Structure 1
Amino acid sequence: MRNFANTQLTELVGNEPNYQQTSVGEQVIPPHVAKFVDRLFIRLKAIFPAWKSAFDSEESYQEAKRLWLEALVNNGVTTAAQFKRGIAQAERKDVPFFPSVGQFIAWCNTENYAELGLPTPDELKHRLNKFRANGGFAEIDRFEFMSDAEYWLITEIANKSIQKSYSEAEELKAMKEALDKMAKRLEKGKVLPKPTRSLPEKVEYLDPEKVKQGWANLKALVARG
């Protein structure tokens, strides 16, 4: 199969039309992005043969395109380079079903993260879980962060998750927002402060039973020593 990343841009979007911006609801949609989405859906239908299972009618298909258009613009996915990254990721997936717009947006941003030395949301989630499994803030001096960026990402999300009692979905959303924010900082050439290696001032341990069990484990360890 011809790889999308090697396809000429004009083959993807044609010549961008010279007309005014259109609107979906109250949102102004750049015309070239609307054209991207039209051609994007054609491409995704070719990549994912079971695409029809995602739409029960022509009306729902057209409504999905409208919702994708809004979501892509809302999340800053508006350039040909981003669409190329998303399609390239889609071509690597060994599944027949049409992706969600959230998944496609993540694909559009994945290589961007890698180019900046940042993890993907899934990789960040894995590292966050490892940080927690190794004692979290209580053992922060022992945890080997892969970079200063990872340190600030993990500690920020872990701290907010404790304070706000995030659900899994809320935590994933917070991770994506933190990654996007970090990516923008790095793209602008900003230097990150060095890790402080200290407990955040506002950490709140909301589960007394876990704290009690932690003290019991520590006392047992000291007694064995």
Structure 2
Amino acid sequence: MEQVNQIVSKINFKPVQQDIHHNQQQTINREQTEKIINQVFERMKSIRPAWRLSLPDDRAEAVAKKEWTKAFIKNGILSFEQLRHGFDKARSIDDKYFPAPGTFIKWCTPQPEDLGLPEPETAYLEACKHAHELNPGKAKWTHQAVYEAAKQTGFFELKSMAEKHILPVFTRNYDFITKKILKGEPISDIPKALPGQVQQTIAERNKAYHDDQQKKQLQEKGLDQLNNPKDAMNEIYRMLGRN
């Protein structure tokens, strides 16, 4: 993998006329960095009228762009959605001066409350409440992240398991989803917790119990040598004259 300085050295920071598209799914690759960093500066100049105090000439601007690029790469500013948050925050702050790269990077990473994301404890209580509804998917959720975390955790488990067992599972899912949203990433394809990270759910324990009971019954009747449980049940029905 190339070092940051090697990447930056290959970039031409002369202004280019290409707008930034606000596409939540799109990420910035190395080839786009040159265009993006120039557009960031042009956009920030329009937002901060006293930018000349920080960028008095072309040389100072070129040096600043290299530093901003290094900071973007190091801090993972890789999506247009992150940049959108940065611009929105810049507009909301009453300041006419050009920001430092670290300041803008902080603006690119919104806080949960900026996106209407409830606290984990509040989200958990909401998930438990809606889990008891007939169709949780049609309930009025405060945020999509709460619904996704509840769905990943399991509505049956949320309304059935003790809080000390299910709360850590929900918290893990909600934290993972929240971080993806704050980075401007899609929240689909969320990985399940690895085996051993969470206790077996009630549904899983029930299935394991019934499977074990069925296995014992087949062994007692001498039918466990058959290929599968369906064949065994058919044999039982045959023996009972129900075929």
Q: So what's the TM-score if we normalise by structure 2?
A: 0.38
In terms of fraction of residues, the more helix-rich structure is: 1
User: TM-score under structure 1 normalisation?
Assistant: 0.41
